[in-house]
Chain A
Amino acid sequence: MSDAHAHSVAFVRDSEIPPAPPPAAETGVVKWMRENLFSGVVNTIMTVIGVFIIFYLLSGLIPWIVNGTWEGASIRDCREVLQGNGGGCFAVLRERWAQLLFGFQYPSELYWRPTLAFALLFLAVPPVLFFKLPRWMLVFTALYPFVAFWLIWGGTAITPIFLLLAFVAAFFAFKEGEKRFGFVAGLAIGLVAFAIVAFIGDFVASEEPGWLRITSVPSREMGGFMLNMILGLVCVSLSIPIGIVLALGRQSRLPIVKGFCVVFIEFVRGVPLITLLFVANVVLAYFLPPGTNFDLIVRVIIMITMFSSAYIAEVIRGGLAALPKGQYEAADSLGLDYPQAMRLIILPQALKISIPGIVNVAVGLFKDTTLVSVISMFDLVGMIRGPILSSTAWVGVYWELWAAACVLFFVVCYGISQYSQWLERQLRTDHR
């Protein structure tokens, strides 16, 4: 309390001082910069270093992009155009983009087919990724594998159509069988139905090979980024169901099943993917009946699927272990048997918890598909290292080519990981 009162001093302010604007140093950009860039000596030094790094990177990058040339048929043409101004020789991308995307053997008049298959992907995948889309759109997802297979590999349409029919038949047979005889018998009946329809399809395809036939392309002609996409998509989608089965097997109370799953998972996780690819390349043929002649691509798909299913199994096992024990007990007390409890209560929750982990595995797997270049398959990396960089026209244009590869992979992987983070926020049902 001060001694200044109305009766002791001549003047007392009887109205409030109007609020003054904050000092210039405490508002807007200046305040933000003081807090975030120059709050202390160390911070200021770091800011200077950071600005210097950014300047250094951009001073190389910007002329490279801006001065770069897109015209020319070889590196000599580029050098003539550029005259050493630090620009990039992007002409190589313009001339070889088809090889980067489709490989050097895929018939060029058929490029529209994988392109169409890729475009259809945007119809087939969103219903799985975004739960708010109408559920009937899942039909596209179900049809997509068969359409894409037909488009990319070609041949008669009978094979994919009957494969689809076989899956439909197996589904309905399983539903009916499960209702009457239980889960396991239903599975068996579904398998039988699948085998019967697939057998008929095989027969019809060999009788009528010309029906709705488009030019067929053998697997060894696949290459470029398309090969990475095919391997990534096929292996991830195949390995999720296998991973679920392995995870359940590892949690199982049956010692033989559990033992097998543990040994399988630990073995696959303990060895590098390259050794598994070597197995696909040279050893797997020993273990198949003499005369079977799988494509290399099929053998690689088998091994990569094995590899990623072990990792996905571990992620899902984490999800299963994170569920409170009460959920299992509640399912038991409702009188549900094991398949019902798993399908209705446990797996929906466990899978929800494991989605971010599964997406991480998927991103890792997609990056790992570049390893097939080591066993002389011409994926994106194989194309760049092999046919393009060793051609006389483009020897030495490595910055531009590798930057293109980096951009392609970065766009896909960053997109997926951003989706995963978005989904994690969507699925967070606690704390609300």
Chain B
Amino acid sequence: MTTMTDPPQADGFRIGQLINDTRYRSYTFQFIALLALIFSFGWLINNAINNPVLQEVGINFGFLQDQAGYDIGQRPIEYNSQSSHLRASIVGAINTLIVAFLACATATVFGVIAGVLRLSNNWIIRKLMSIYVEIFRNIPVLIWIIIIFTVAANVLPQPREYRGEDAAYSPLFGVVAATNRGVYIPRPYFTEGIGAQEPAAVEVDGVSTLVAQEVTSSANWLIVFGVLLASFAIAKGISVWASRQQLTTGIRPKTWYFTAAAWIVPIAVTLWILGLRWEIPTLQGFNFRGGIVLQNPLLALWFALSIYTGAFIAENVRAGILAVSKGQTEAAAALGLRPRRIMSLVVLPQALRVIIPPLISQYLNITKNTSLAIAVGYMDLTGTLGGITLNQTGRALECILLLMAFYLTFSLAISAIMNVYNNSVKLKER
């Protein structure tokens, strides 16, 4: 800093230089900071060591192997009340990731639609979207989660209202039933393919009929996923080939029917070979059976998080589109590009550079906000490990450490990916 005013090199080192000489002063400060840090952490840890409660129980992660003894409503993997606390935590973690993924996807859809419509030239739509954004941004997400949960539990019909010839409600398209216990949707399954076949009995009005043999191996889903990946690769290949044609000949060949075929044909054939069937939820007794049930806590959390975060994403999208200067659009039009290609080749790539970083931090916010699940009883990681497991075992310190470690790892991983992406799209300057 102030090199000119530094004292000339003295013959020896004097103690006073530790304070007065800018060359040594930083070492003094760092030494003091280090001492203060060590002292305060030492004090905290010393308190913990001397704490009578901690001294009695110690710090021990062995409780994770104990029997959990509680049930979880939504079980993506095998779990029952005899399973261990560790397994309960894993179920919770998967539930966290499920709702985070679903909410990120729909929040993006809501956000992009609202953000684009806020720039619409239709006055009513524009104002409606501003109202949506302002209302949802300025009211806490916890309130939204609880409101939607309460409304779903109180306003949606009970399953028995679907009963009878002239029922008050009938399932949407005959397959989707929204009740106050959750939304029942059809479940796809395979009748041919890998795995042992188990009879799937469908009971209609007390009469059990064997409709088709279900195979239970999840390898079939891997096959479907693999086929989709292959389709993606083929579609990408077609577009690369078209670009190369355009570069050499100047004419871009029409490829949309190849691309459509690449997406549709392989997956259709695969599903036909595997024998895809749908299990339709049917009303039996007092409740629907069969199909997949999306329970109300999941729905409330999913919908509230996506509509709340969608309002923030809408603002990011709008700012991103406005950040592309009008000259860019006009220049592209002057080059003779069609409006759709102006959007995809000129405006979007530049807008995305502005949109993506805040978008990813919104995804991080969604992931962190899924911990509010505990308010509506959705069993995510905070509900299992930080809720029931903590209360049953009394291992507060260990549970909260693990909980924080999970969220921290996830956030840091996404931040790292985001940094890599940011570096790849940022303006290349010399």
Are A and B subunits of one complex? yes
Residues of A within 8 A of B37 (CB): 256, 260
A417 contacts B34, C-beta separation under 8 Å: no
A287–B135 touching, CB < 8 Å = no
Instruction: Tell me the minimal C-beta distance from A184 to chain B in angstroms.
Output: 8
> Could you show 26 A-B contacts with beta carbons less than 8 Å apart?
A35-B121, A36-B123, A39-B121, A46-B124, A257-B33, A269-B411, A270-B412, A274-B374, A274-B386, A278-B396, A278-B403, A287-B47, A289-B47, A289-B50, A335-B5, A367-B139, A370-B143, A374-B372, A398-B147, A402-B147, A406-B135, A410-B135, A410-B139, A413-B138, A414-B138, A417-B137
Name the CB-closest residue of B to A369.
B140
A interface majority secondary structure: helix
**With contact pairs A257-B33, A275-B404, A402-B150 given, residues A367 and B141 touching in the complex (Cβ less than 8 Å):** yes
Indicate whether A290 sits within 8 Å of B50 (C-beta atoms), given known contacts A254-B29, A272-B368, A370-B143.
Answer: yes
Contact of A275 among B138, B142, B371 (CB under 8 A): B371
Closest chain-B Cβ to A235's Cβ sits at a distance in Å of 15
Please tell me if the beta carbons of A287 and B371 are within 8 angstroms of each other in the complex: no
Secondary structure at chain B's binding surface: helix, strand, loop or mixed?
helix
- Tell whether A54 is near chain B: CB-to-CB under 8 Å: yes
Interface residues of A in 355-386 (CB under 8 A from B): 363, 367-368, 370-371, 373-374, 381, 385
Minimum C-beta distance from A393 to chain B (A): 18
Q: What 0/1 readout, one digit per residue, does chain B (399-410) give for beta carbons within 8 Å of chain A?
A: 010011001100
Find chain A residues with CB under 8 A from B120 CB.
Answer: 46
Candidates A51, A257, A283, A381; contact of B143 at CB < 8 Å: A381
| Interface membership of B425, Cβ < 8 A | no
Given A371-B372, A396-B154, A406-B139, A254:B33 Cβ within 8 A: yes
Given the interface pairs A50-B122, A50-B124, the reply to whether A282 lies near B368 with Cβ below 8 Å is no
- In the complex, what residues of B have CB within 8 A of residue A269's CB? 411
Q: Could you say which of A54, A255, A374, A417 contacts B375, with CB atoms under 8 Å apart?
A: A374
A271 within 8 A of B: yes
Residue of A nearest to B31 (CB): A256
Contact with B386, one of A278, A363, A367, A381 (Cβ below 8 angstroms): A278
CB distance from A67 to the nearest CB of B (A): 19
Determine how close the nearest CB of chain A comes to the CB of B233; give it in whole angstroms: 35
- Cα of A260 to Cα of B48 in the assembled complex, Å: 21
Quote the shortest CB–CB distance from B117 to chain A (angstroms): 8
Q: Which residues of A contact B151 (CB under 8 A)?
A: 398
Residues of A within 8 A of B369 (CB): 272
- By size class, the interface of chain A is 35 or more
Q: A46-B120, A266-B412, A278-B386 are in contact. List 11 more A-B contacts (CB 8 A).
A: A270-B408, A271-B404, A272-B371, A286-B47, A286-B51, A289-B47, A335-B2, A373-B375, A374-B374, A396-B154, A410-B139
Q: Which 3 A-B pairs have the closest CB atoms?
A: A50-B124, A413-B138, A270-B411
CB-CB < 8 A to B150: which residues of A?
398, 402
CA distance A373 to B138 in the complex (A): 18
Report chain A residues within 8 Å CB of B142. Answer: 370-371, 373-374, 381
B329 to chain A, nearest CB (A): 19
Cβ-closest chain A residue relative to B308: A367
What's the minimum C-beta distance from B143 to chain A, rounded to whole angstroms? 6
Are B404 and A290 closer than 8 Å at their CB atoms? no
How far is the CB of B52 from the nearest CB of chain A, in Å? 6
Binding site for A on B (CB under 8 A): 1-2, 5, 26, 29-30, 33-34, 37, 44-45, 47-48, 50-54, 120-125, 128, 134-135, 137-143, 146-147, 150-151, 154, 368-369, 371-372, 374-375, 382, 386, 390, 396-397, 400, 403-404, 407-408, 411-412
Query: Which A residues contact B (CB, under 8 angstroms)?
Result: 35-37, 39, 43, 46-47, 49-51, 53-54, 253-257, 260, 266-267, 269-275, 278-279, 282-283, 285-290, 332, 335, 337-338, 363, 367-368, 370-371, 373-374, 381, 385, 396, 398, 402, 405-406, 409-410, 413-414, 417
CA distance A168 to B52 in the complex (A): 40
Would B122 and A37 count as touching, CB distance under 8 A? yes
Contact A36 B121 (CB under 8 A): yes
Point out the residues of chain A lying under 8 angstroms from B147, CB to CB. Answer: 398, 402, 406
Q: Given the interface contacts A363-B138, A402-B150, A413-B138, does A286 sit within 8 Å of B26 by beta carbon? A: no
Q: How far is the CB of B127 from chain A (nearest CB, A)?
A: 8
CB distance from B279 to the nearest CB of A (A): 35
B400 A278 Cβ-Cβ under 8 A: yes
Contact check: which of B47, B134, B403 meets A290 at CB < 8 Å? B47
Pick the contact of B48 from A39, A50, A254, A286 — CB < 8 Å? A286
Tell me the minimal C-beta distance from A3 to chain B in angstroms: 39
Contact at A413–B139, with CB atoms within 8 Å? yes
Q: How distant is B40 from chain A, measured CB to nearest CB, in Å?
A: 10
The residues of B that contact A35 with a CB separation of less than 8 Å are 121
Do A253 and B26 touch (CB < 8 A)? yes
* B153 vs chain A, min Cβ distance (A): 10
Q: For residue B407, which residues in chain A have a CB less than 8 angstroms away from its CB?
A: 270-272, 275
Which A residue's beta carbon lies closest to that of B134?
A414
Q: Are B2 and A406 in contact (CB under 8 A)?
A: no
A275 near B50 with CB under 8 A, answer: no
How many angstroms from the CA of A287 to the CA of B146 in the assembled complex? 34
Q: Is the CB of A50 within 8 A of B411?
A: no
Task: Report B-chain residues with C-beta under 8 Å of the C-beta of A367.
Answer: 138-141
A379 to chain B, nearest CB (A): 10
- A409-B154 contact in complex given A36-B122, A54-B128, A286-B54, C-beta closer than 8 Å: no
Q: In the assembled complex, how far is the CB of residue A231 from the closest CB belonging to chain B, in whole angstroms?
A: 12
Bound CA–CA A409/B374 (angstroms): 22
State whether A282 and B122 are in contact (beta carbons under 8 Å apart), knowing that A260-B33, A370-B143, A402-B146 are contacts in the complex: no
A253, closest chain B residue (CB): B26
* A405 contact set on B, CB distance < 8 A: 143
Q: Inside 8 A of B137's CB, which chain A residues have their CB?
A: 413, 417
Give every chain B residue within 8 A of A46 (Cβ-Cβ).
Answer: 120, 122, 124-125
Bound-state CA distance A368–B375 (Å) is 13
A47 touches B154 (CB 8 A): no
Is there an interface contact between A409 and B122, defined as CB atoms closer than 8 Å? no
Shortest Cβ distance from residue A265 to the other chain B in the assembled complex, whole angstroms: 12
Shortest A366–chain B CB gap in Å is 8
Interfacial chain B residues near A255, Cβ < 8 Å: 30
Return the chain A residue nearest B51 by Cβ.
A286
CB distance from B244 to the nearest CB of A (A): 36
